[in-house]
Amino acid sequence: MSDLNWRKSSYSPEAANCVYVAAPGAGTVKLRESDEPGVILTTTPAALRTFIHAAKAGEFDCVTEHGLSRR
């Protein structure tokens, strides 16, 4: 995975909890977190866009360790 061009999110702080994104092509996007760089999530641009829109809309505001709770 070292050949990927990882970019840090501009919303990540300087020292920790950084989110990195790479777009290797072929309709995929890869995500990793600075604390666990060996764990890489692979998704599509469309699925990532849907997730980001849902997060911004508050769809996950009631998520607990057991799943989504009812509002």
What is the value of pTM for the model shown? 0.71
3 state DSSP class of 27: coil
**What pLDDT is stored for residue 1 in this prediction?**
45
Assess contact for 55 and 47: CB atoms under 8 A: no
Name the pLDDT band for 69 (thresholds 50, 70, 90). low
**Domain ranges within the chain, ordered by starting residue:** 7-68
* pLDDT tens, position by position, 23-65: 998 899 999 988 888 999 999 999 999 999 998 999 888 877 7
Round to whole Å and give the CA distance between 54 and 60: 7
User: Which whole-number Å values give the CA distances from 67 to 1, 46, 54, in the listed order?
Assistant: 31, 23, 16
**What pLDDT is stored for residue 70 in this prediction?**
60
